[in-house]
Structure 1
Amino acid sequence: MRARLALPVALIAAVSVAATACSSSSGSDGAGGAKKDAPRAASAAVDYNPQPYENIKDGGTYTTAGTFDDQGNPFNVNATLTAARVWGWYNADAITYSPTGEVQYNPDYYSEVKVDVEGGNQKVTLTINPKAAFNDGTPIDWKAIEATWKANNGSDKEFAASSTDGYDKITSVAKGENAKQAVITFKGVNASWSTLFTTFLHPEAATVANFNKAYVKKAHPEWGAGPYTVGKWDTHSGNITFVRNPKWWGKKGKLDKRVYVNLESTAAVNAFKNGQLDYTSAVDAESLKQVKGLKGTEIRSGGSPFEYSLYFNTKSASLADKAVRKAVQQSVDRAQIAKIQFQGLDYEEPLPGSAVLYSFQKGYEDNLSSVLKYAPDEAKKTLDAAGWKPGSDGVRAKDGKKLEIGYTLLGDDPLDKAIAGAFVAMLKPVGVKLVIRKADEADFSKILSDRRFDIFLAGNRSMDPFGARYLCDFFCSDRDSNLTGAGSPALDKEIRATTGIADLDEQVAAVNRAEKKALQDYAFLPLFSGPSTYSVKKGLANVGATIFFSPLPETIGWQK
């Protein structure tokens, strides 16, 4: 579930929430729902100053906040959104998507793509650009496609793969007419096959040892390919500079340098104000207020392929009881949380009801509302029935154990503190003591990989429009990517059956049915999305709110 360009979901810390301009916010109807006049769908608008390659200046530097993650291999289960973004600057971007989700093949990697169905089984033939080679001289050919498949198909459990979905439906990857052609054969039909090979691994990077460990706090430009390569990586500061790749065979990158400076979110806003950064997220009303109207800058805001949710660790002692998880969720006024998040912003949206689809997408259903209602009085009854009795201090107890649950809070962002405080206040009247446990933003990946939390607020960014195929990443009980540990073999089977449905509409309908069951484990609670809003130096092209679109690195730069 975590992050790779082929996955739609890349985990991000809660502090990454983006928001948009002005005043007012959505209110509550008292039942945990949005206002009666709230929009039926979130925004699908884009705002990124789209410019053709020919209209971008040669030269210049583009600087933002960012760094190498602990795990830099985006196919790995412990990678996050940061890994996916950095990877894309020195590795292949072979398939991308338009803002609305249409597939775009990059001819610098795939010169021809053919999709056929023979005897009910899909065959995809990728003809690879004759010039395409990794930086160490190894040709990019069918072996790179095969290596990527083998590392991610789940047949060897030693690979800590982020997701096996789709790869596990491939029966073979074979050499075609020559080494520059890969023939991929599926069992059945996979309508979203393109998500599997948006990028690929160097065969040497696809051994178990290298897949799991080689990219930990380390870059491997020799295994990369593309218009840019690593120029300098300061392991002490975490800063990275990408420079033009002399071995690139396609259109050259327009920038002289692409720089990531390792800063936390609040420091990034100050760095932008001081002119040190060219782009920053306006994460809340306060940061937007600081960056709005700065000379030579502009605000770009559009729809968001983000969703922020509460994860309940079912393996922790305090949350092993399903009744406790249900009561906590019944006690959370999501509309109030959204109101805090969007305070001072001219923005409202329907409360999200799915882990994998957004309200602006075809087939979306509010699956959560069919299994959960905001009802703190009912939460008390749920706990009563489960044997949790109120104590003299108001905190419930059972078998001599108080009902105390940890909430992990990253960093010192005031908005995140306010939301944490709201959760504490919501749970107290029900008899649940929520204990705030503070941690550094830098520990984000480790907290997730080691499951060091009871309740944790984190976001996912969809990297492609085929959200339905990722349900297993959230809810299958045998998936490392399922942060909650909830689920059952029977539900796993039902979820996995949805991936074999060829018709996308039918697949989405089956996913909605399965997700309704998965949400009844009460281990995952969608909270809000919010728009994507950025402050950008004027003239920066192909950067901003893009929904599913990921501009090719060589097209990013400064407008003529």
Structure 2
Amino acid sequence: MINRRTLMTTSLATLTLLGAGCSAPGRTGGEDPGSMLLADGYEPDSLNPLLGYARTGAAKFYDGLMAFDGNGTLLPALAAEPPRSTPDAKSWTVRLRRDVTFHDGTPFDADDVVATYRAAIDPAYASTISSDYAMLAGVTAIDAHTVRFDLNMSYAPWPAKMVLGIVPGEKLADPAPLTDSELNTQPVGTGPYRLVEWRQGEQMIWEGNPDHWGGAPDIDTITVVFATDDNTRAQRVKAGEFDGTVLPPLLSERLGVDGYRTVHHRTADHRSITLPSRHPITGDPAIRTALNHAANREGMIRGLLGGHGKPAHTPIPESMGHYHEPTARFDFDPERARRILDEAGWRPASDGIRHRDGRRARFTLMYFADDSLRKQLARAFASDAANVGVEVHLAGVDRTAAAERIGTDAIVLGDGNPLDPDLQMYSTLHSSAIGTGTYNNPARYRNAEVDAALDGGRQAIDEAERARFYKRAQQAYVADPGLVYLAFTDHSYVMRTDVWSGYEPVVEPHTHGTTWGPWWNVEDWTPKR
């Protein structure tokens, strides 16, 4: 489908080389096809891109220089054309669109780009995404419609960093921590929608931007209601209250509502179990390797995801094509897991739980209490671990408690970005990421061979050479695992099908919900009647 975002389709490789069941009541959200009513299980803490809002794109209030088309391709957005790099990929020049305005009517130009990216790396702003841009040495306005990014190393995937939402430079004039920025609750961007209401804990209302450079959206009003409980959202969709929502796979399949469709999107979003290296049990290489062979990944996918997912052994999914190393895997082999533990001196006691040197093979595994899938995965993993003599104590926690304990207790982790393997692996496994963010390398994993391969992959310019580095990183990782990767989970949604046209499947990052899912390109949807 050709739409506003396919004006200049350019793959990332090319950029690098350039330098149904029972019936439901009528739609109570209103029959006007110019409005849409959605339900989301997650409410953002902030709407400031410099504090992590929509860091993988699909920010309805903002545009980046580049945008994701949903299938691994980057397109120019606020950029007028694909960025051009020097041969060493250390300097990138971007020409900007003209005649673009922010929601407050002020013009967009190079100074806004400079201000946004400088705020991302200037410690005075305390941006939570600063570690994502550690390779950025500086950004300069060449003229009103051209910017140049200078990097401190060769970095081929830099265009994937250009999805960052651009904010007006005037909003960043005061170099102070962004925790009190008005952008946190009153976003001002150039995006296809602007925020007109946010009743925190209840709902948001988006209004179409009539002056958007890509044209005004046909769906002019979108209301997003926040309801954390999966079953509540499902029942309210079944009652016809919402035009769509995100649901766990099995629940979405069971819903069955006339006029609605269940869709499952492929993702780079993995669920994994962190194994903190400083913990006396999970820090033992034998325990780590044994648990990887004990985990019944296929069984979890069949039983908990209804088959809507793929086994994960490393962070790189098959969907990343030539970056994926198929031999980097752990066979499901509980007997092998037991032998590994036996050889390492972990002997089963009368209750079946292993001990060594007077220490019981036991650790705590946290999961977010409001996430039903993570809870189910935690239970399944604990059962598999017990089968080989390792006791896992489960703890449902809120996000604040998880952040405080993440370096010492294991957690069911979710993460993923399909744009580039560097974005998929580096912050989770490279030792330099330790301490740069709550969920950056939360297991405190250190492996010199993995580090070297990841460094090589992000700096290599030749695509084949990059692939070799990432395959090497995966092979080195499975020889010395620091987590138990379980599955790449499909994201499941229920959406109304009788009112609008424009739905296109998408390969999603970890982030999902109403800004992604079927509605990632909702600004391009049109009424059927």
Please report the TM-score for the alignment, with normalisation by the length of structure 2.
0.79
Q: Is the 8 A contact 2:368 2:375 kept in 1?
A: no
Q: In the superposition, relative to structure 1, how do residues 250 and 544 fare at CA in structure 2: closer, same or farther (>3 Å)? A: closer
AA aligned opposite 1:101: G
| Correspondence for 2:315 | 355
1:526 aligns with 2:454: no
Structure 2 distance, partners of 1:253, 1:59, is: 9
* Alpha-carbon distance, 1:355 to partner: 0.5
1:43-442 alignment, distance < 5 Å: 59-76=34-51, 79=52, 88-106=59-77, 109-117=78-86, 120-121=88-89, 123-136=91-104, 139-152=107-120, 156=123, 159=126, 161-162=128-129, 164=131, 167-176=133-142, 178-186=143-151, 190-202=155-167, 203=169, 204-205=171-172, 209-211=176-178, 213-214=179-180, 218-221=184-187, 223-235=188-200, 237-245=201-209, 248=212, 250-264=214-228, 265-290=230-255, 292=256, 294-343=257-306, 349=310, 351-359=311-319, 361-366=321-326, 368-369=328-329, 372-411=330-369, 417-439=375-397
| Alpha-carbon displacement from aligned partner over 1:19-41 (angstroms, at most 9, x marks no partner) | xx99xxxxxxxxxxxxxxxxxxx
Tell me: CA distance 1:325–1:494, structure 2 relative to 1, closer, same or farther (3 Å). Answer: same
CA RMSD in angstroms comes to 3.6
Partner of 2:16: none
Task: State the distance in 2 between where 1:218 and 1:323 align.
Answer: 45
Tell me the CA shift for residue 233 of structure 1.
Answer: 0.9
Aligned partner letter, 1:145: V
Q: Secondary structure at the match of 1:220?
A: coil
Q: Using the TM superposition, give the Cα deviation of residue 234 of structure 1 relative to its aligned residue in structure 2, in angstroms.
A: 1.0
Aligned residue in 2 for 1:52: none
Q: Match of 1:47?
A: none
Q: What's 1:466 paired with? A: 420
| Aligned counterparts of 1:339 and 1:444: Cα–Cα separation in 2 | 28
**Structure 1 residue 249: Cα displacement:** 5.3
> Is 1:455 aligned with 2:392?
no
Q: Contact 2:64–2:162 at 8 Å: present in 1 too?
A: no
Structure 1 residue aligned with 2:17: none
- Aligned amino acid, residue 277 of structure 1: F
Change (3 A) 1:302 1:130: closer
Structure 1 stretch 428-437 or stretch 314-323: which is displaced more? 314-323
Amino acid at match of 1:336: G
Change (3 A) 1:189 1:476: closer
Determine what percentage of the aligned residue pairs are the same residue. Answer: 19
After superposition, the Cα gap between the structure-2 partners of 1:114 and 1:386, relative to the gap in structure 1 and judged at 3 Å, is closer
- How far apart, CA to CA, are the structure 1 residues paired with 2:93 and 2:463? 21
Deviation for aligned residue 1:437: 1.1
Q: Displacement of 1:247 after TM fit?
A: 6.3
Deviation at 1:504, TM superposition (A): 1.7
* Residue-pair matches, total: 483
CA distance in 1, matches of 2:84, 2:41: 38
Which has the bigger relative contact order, CA under 8 A and spacing at least 6? 1
* TM-score normalised by structure 1 residue count: 0.75
Alpha-carbon shift at residue 473 of structure 1 (Å): 1.2
State whether residues 357 and 468 of structure 1, in contact with CA within 8 Å, keep that contact through their aligned partners in structure 2: no
The SS at the match of 1:496 is helix
CA distance in 2, matches of 1:484, 1:159: 24
Shift in alpha-carbon separation, 1:253–1:517, aligned structure 2, 3 A: same
Distance 1:145 1:414 in 2: 40
Q: Deviation at 1:507?
A: 0.3
- Structure 2 spans left out of the alignment, 5+ residues: 1-11, 13-19, 22-31, 510-515
